[in-house]
Structure 1
């Protein structure tokens, strides 16, 4: 399953609180029986997300690494990905048969993107609670990610957001690029994300 170039690297980005860590947790638990996985998280001054994944039992603790980026978290996934690349190299040294490395960015804005040097596939997570206009605002995360995840659909009635409008805007901004509506708490829509990682990532 692993390519000659090493494991598939999937970047998971999105604004603070959108559900990136919840998606990382869910994907690890769903894929760990089939694939050899590691997870890397980015935080500015803490390793909170990595510690969350350890506490939740997403993977064995030695398969989870937290990168403290300091300063601007966007730089660590884009202009200077060296800390993340080093973390991936360490994981590959420990687990030579890795199939998949999930890399979660620190809290991003809509302009943040992963360096192609760091991620083979990118998933960008936004949430309904941030407002139905988010897909229409564009930015590389919305328009160019390989998969757009619109999370927390259960909150739509409570924040006055129309999923139909969000779907229309996502389609308009992304063209043929796929997007999916999810609720990480119930697992709704996560099958489609899992299928995307396996199929688009060539793991199947």
Structure 2
């Protein structure tokens, strides 16, 4: 349930169709627990907040931990960050029953006025997690090298079909014995021409290729 609602009697009617040209671009970020989804969201907010009007929706099962992390790090003003407590596997709220997330997105646009971009972060899930296209326009999937170089080879819709695959924590590759060349080869095999970015989000400028990809998607959205 979206945390801003204290009772069902207070929930307004939602989910009327909004033409794409009249709303923000929505980008979903998914990936396994600990891969760096929240770090990616935080870094994107820092990189884009002076040039775009943006907001964030986070998803956690029983807490608002990810939203609180973003608030503690002051990546955006508090009114631009909201949380959904899914109460179930995270993929359910981003793929199967997206109503709570749609409420959160619509609340942000209603309260903040015209926005350029809304980032919707999934709770940590496995390689099968994907977003409903009724919720987001593009999907980023974040994995990291700490599980070894086998992760892209395992595939799954997050790895194979996301609009952008981010391989995070490349600085840890020597410590865990991960071969980035193997990961790049397997990612190409799984994804074909879909783009993959290798980076360390903890490094200065580590989010730059992801931010550039987001800017390109927004430019294309505005030209529609």
Instruction: Give the TM-score normalised by the residue count of structure 1.
Output: 0.96
> Structure 1: any 5+ residue segments left out of the alignment?
none
Q: Which whole-Å CA distance do the structure 1 matches of 2:152 and 2:206 have between them? A: 18
Structure 2 counterpart of 1:191 = 208
Aligned with residue 54 of structure 1, among 61, 71, 87: 71
Larger mean CA deviation between 190-199 and 120-129 belongs to 190-199
Equivalent residue of 1:65, what SS? strand
- Contact residue 89 and residue 125 of structure 2 kept, 8 A: no
Structure 1 counterpart of 2:169 = 152
Structure 2 counterpart of 1:75 = 92
Structure 1 counterpart of 2:181 = 164
**Counterpart mapping for 1:127-138 below 5 A:** 127-138=144-155
Aligned with residue 38 of structure 2, among 11, 16, 21: 21
- Contact residue 182 and residue 188 of structure 1 kept, 8 A: no
Q: Which whole-Å CA distance do the structure 2 matches of 1:201 and 1:36 have between them? A: 12
Root-mean-square deviation (Å): 1.4
Please state how far the C-alpha of 1:200 moved relative to its aligned partner: 2.2
CA offsets per residue over residues 65-104 of structure 1, 9 Å max, x none? 0110002111000010000000001001111211100000
CA offsets per residue over residues 131-168 of structure 1, 9 Å max, x none? 10000111000000000000000100000000000011
Runs of 4+ in structure 1 off by over 2 angstroms are: 200-204
**How has the CA–CA distance of structure 1 residues 193 and 115 changed in structure 2, closer, same or farther, with 3 Å as cutoff?**
same
> Structure 2: any 5+ residue segments left out of the alignment?
1-19
Please state how far the C-alpha of 1:188 moved relative to its aligned partner: 4.9
Q: Which whole-Å CA distance do the structure 2 matches of 1:82 and 1:122 have between them? A: 18
Equivalent residue of 1:71, what SS? coil
**How has the CA–CA distance of structure 1 residues 141 and 187 changed in structure 2, closer, same or farther, with 3 Å as cutoff?**
farther
- Contact residue 121 and residue 201 of structure 1 kept, 8 A: no
Aligned residues: 203
Larger mean CA deviation between 186-195 and 130-139 belongs to 186-195
Corresponding position: 1:6 with 2:37? no
